[in-house]
Chains A and B, each alone.
Chain A
Amino acid sequence: MLLCLGIGIWAMTRTKSSHDFFVAGRNLGIFVTAFAVFSTTLSGFGFVGGPGLVYKMGMSSIWMVVIAILGFSISSFLHGKRLRLLSELGDAQSLPDVVFLRYNRNSTRVLIAIAIIFGVLGYLATQILAMSVVLKDILSATDYFADISLFTSMLISCSILVFYSVTGGIIASVYTDLVQGGIMVVAAVLIFFTVVYTFDNGFTEMNQIIQADNAAAIGPWGTLGLVGCMSWVLLFGLGGSGQPHVITKFLMNKKVSDAKYILPVSVGGYILAGLLWISIGLVMRALVLNGGHPALDSPDAAASQFLQHYAHPVLAGIVFAGLFAAIMSTADAFLNIGTAAVMHDIPKAMGIKIKNELLTARVTTVVITLLSAIFAIYTGDLVAIIGAFAWGTFAAAIVPVVTLGFNWKRATPMAANIAIVSSLLINFGIKLCNISMPFGLDIGAFSMITSLLIFIGVSYVTKPAELEYDVARVMDM
């Protein structure tokens, strides 16, 4: 945490304008960008939520890791070039800026910004909840804070997060991603070997324990079943290209040709870091099943319980450090994107000029943090479930408009607007009305499928926007 705060203060000295605050001056190198891409994807979701889901459901959630190579490839093929070129052409500071350049409509810019705000509130709530859960778990093991409540942990977490984000902007986020990514890769490999040696016969014995209790849990679809797992494959494979906190990293690298190296570095990092997700979840399930560890109060406690009881204290400390760095950098990225939507994208679309953008950005950051914290307290869901819903919100709104729309000249602004609105209505409607999805189908995946169909269908029956000459040339490249 102190290291992150230090990076935040250093980043503050490098943040001179809103251009620096939002897109890091479009000056990032290959490794910084690649590490930012994979570590912002993994975040607190991967450290806390992922192992929690594995503990709860067996192999089901591991598809979110298994699909990574294909998923990152989709983002690189569809965004690595086009999004980067269009953002430089239009001197974009945010994703809605690039959307405006493509569709030439302020309505599309506003709607994308609104979709982003909804997703940010949900995803940020995930990060805050993850940080609070782990902080509570660590502090309650001490004498002084033995009775600390989740609410108090959340207050502490939010205060640190706000200070960090307000001082450093996106520069703090990406450089913390670099540090965090490095820690995660090293720690994940060490944790993997720690897990292997927890049982005498390593993974085989561990998986046999799980299998003896319930064969399906260690089968490829886990307890959720094929439909749930493969809907996550679609949502995390294709939906990854609709996550603003990930794809806006493609706005920030120095040269478009860097994409050639960003893909393999980010994939490699994600695979190694994903070992932590897989191994901790499975070993905790096996330990609880064979009586080696008491049942967990909550699946979200799987990671912190393993680290506190089975890992070397130094290794546990390093992993916790990486976890907090992961949460803070991802949360900062979301705050950055949400702030841009509120005080840059929507006012710009409405022709409102904000005085002192940098100060207003910082105030907006505080407000969004508080709203997300309130959402985190009242939702009552697991970290990973909130995260998956927020991921789905982004995917359903952004994949048609950006992933498909930036690679298909026939896409129309009317289709974009209708797709965004319908994605939000379907996604939130299903969740709020508690509509049961068949056979474990993920809500976000369903919303994404329907919004894609609507987007393509409406594009074929409406008139495409006239593209500016240079935008059309870039779309042909």
Chain B
Amino acid sequence: MQDRVVQYIFVLLLFLLGVIVALWMYPQPEGIIGLPHPEIKGMLIGPKMDVFDDNIHLMHFLFGLLNIVILLYFILLGAIRRGALGKIRYWFFSGAFLYLVTYTLTFFSNLRYLREEHHLFFGGWPLPTAWMMYAMWFTPLIILIGYIVTFRDSIISEDDELEFATLIKLRLNKKQGE
């Protein structure tokens, strides 16, 4: 199973590299990564909405999505124990799904935010930023809680620890024998 996960990581990284190459070849609008503030030294301002076209939006969305999926696959790699996923899988898949949903909501909410003059605030932040601060930040807690709750089933069991103690003894004996 480890091998299969690594193969998926490889394919995802290739897709990500493809998006990067596409971005590299696409004409970069001026100021898209910030412009000097007209009055304040050391501060930057973001670009206007009209520098973005649909191709840029698509590449941006894919870039972000692929990054997140790659991160989640690395967690999956670490969650495999003795070739299988244990009870952690329920926590992992629900956390991963919600995380992808919140990323999508943040992305599309931001598109609308930058087009509108009057901006809705939630919890002290503009709406897309509220998605980022309250949802994207804390959704991975589901996976973290799963790590704690299923530690002995999915990460390391007491039998593993006993076996490890035996391996240590064998190695020490081998060293002393040498």
Contacts and interface: CB of A to CB of B under 8 A. Distances in A.
Interface of A: 55-59, 62, 65-66, 69-70, 72-74, 76-78, 80-81, 85, 88-89, 202-204, 207-208, 211, 213-228, 230-231, 233-234, 237-238, 241, 256-257, 259-261, 263-264, 267, 285, 288-289, 295-299, 403-404, 407-410, 438-441, 446, 449-450, 452-453, 456-457, 470, 473-474, 476-477
Contacts of A76: 78, 147
B9 A456 contact: yes
A78 B74 CA distance: 8
Interface string B70-81: 110011011101
Contacts of B68: 230, 233
Given A410-B6, A477-B164, A225 B32 contact: yes
Contact of A74 (B78, B160, B163): B78
Interface in B83-140: 83, 99, 106-107, 110, 113-114, 119, 121, 124-126, 128-129, 131-133, 136-138, 140
Contacts of B82: 476-477
Nearest to B150: A260
A71 to B, nearest CB: 8
Interface string B43-79: 1111100000000000010011001101100110111
B114 to A, nearest CB: 6
21 contacts: A66-B133, A69-B137, A69-B138, A70-B71, A216-B45, A218-B126, A220-B129, A223-B34, A224-B34, A228-B33, A231-B67, A233-B71, A238-B70, A260-B155, A263-B144, A263-B148, A408-B6, A438-B24, A439-B28, A439-B33, A470-B167
Contacts of A56: 42-44
Given A216-B46, A295-B41, A470 B129 contact: no
Given A226-B64, A477-B81, 16 more contacts: A55-B42, A56-B42, A66-B133, A77-B77, A78-B78, A207-B121, A211-B119, A214-B46, A215-B46, A216-B46, A264-B148, A285-B43, A299-B42, A453-B10, A456-B6, A477-B82
Contacts of B161: 256-257
Q: How would you classify the secondary structure of chain A's contact residues: helix, strand, loop or mixed?
A: helix
B91 to A, nearest CB: 11
Nearest to B39: A295
A85 B137 CA distance: 31
Which one of A203, A207, A223 has the greatest number of beta carbons of chain B within 10 Å? A223
A204 B121 CA distance: 8
Given A73-B140, A263-B144, A449-B16, A404 B126 contact: no
B34 A213 contact: no
Interface of B: 2-3, 6, 9-10, 13-14, 16-17, 20, 23-24, 26, 28, 32-35, 37, 40-47, 60, 63-64, 67-68, 70-71, 74-75, 77-79, 81-83, 99, 106-107, 110, 113-114, 119, 121, 124-126, 128-129, 131-133, 136-138, 140-141, 143-144, 147-148, 151, 155-156, 160-161, 163-164, 167-168, 170-171
Main secondary structure of the interface of B (DSSP, over half): helix
Contacts, number: 240
A203 B125 contact: yes
B44 A57 contact: yes
B77 A407 contact: yes
A278 to B, nearest CB: 9
A214 B45 contact: yes
Contact of B144 (A58, A66, A226, A264): A264
A428 to B, nearest CB: 19
A224 B26 CA distance: 17
Most B C-beta atoms less than 10 A away, residue of A69, A77, A217? A77
Contacts of A230: 63-64, 67-68
B129 A219 contact: yes
Nearest to A261: B148
Tell which of A72, A202, A256 has the most Cβ of chain B within 10 Å.
A256
Residue among B6, B16, B67, B81 with most chain A CB within 10 A: B67
A443 to B, nearest CB: 12
A238 to B, nearest CB: 6
Nearest to B133: A66
Nearest to B113: A219
A59 B75 contact: no
B78 to A, nearest CB: 3
Given A69-B138, A89-B167, A264-B144, A449 B17 contact: yes
Contacts of B79: 77
Contact of B32 (A72, A409, A439): A439
Contacts of A457: 10
Contacts of A476: 82-83
A223 B40 CA distance: 15
Contacts of A57: 34, 44
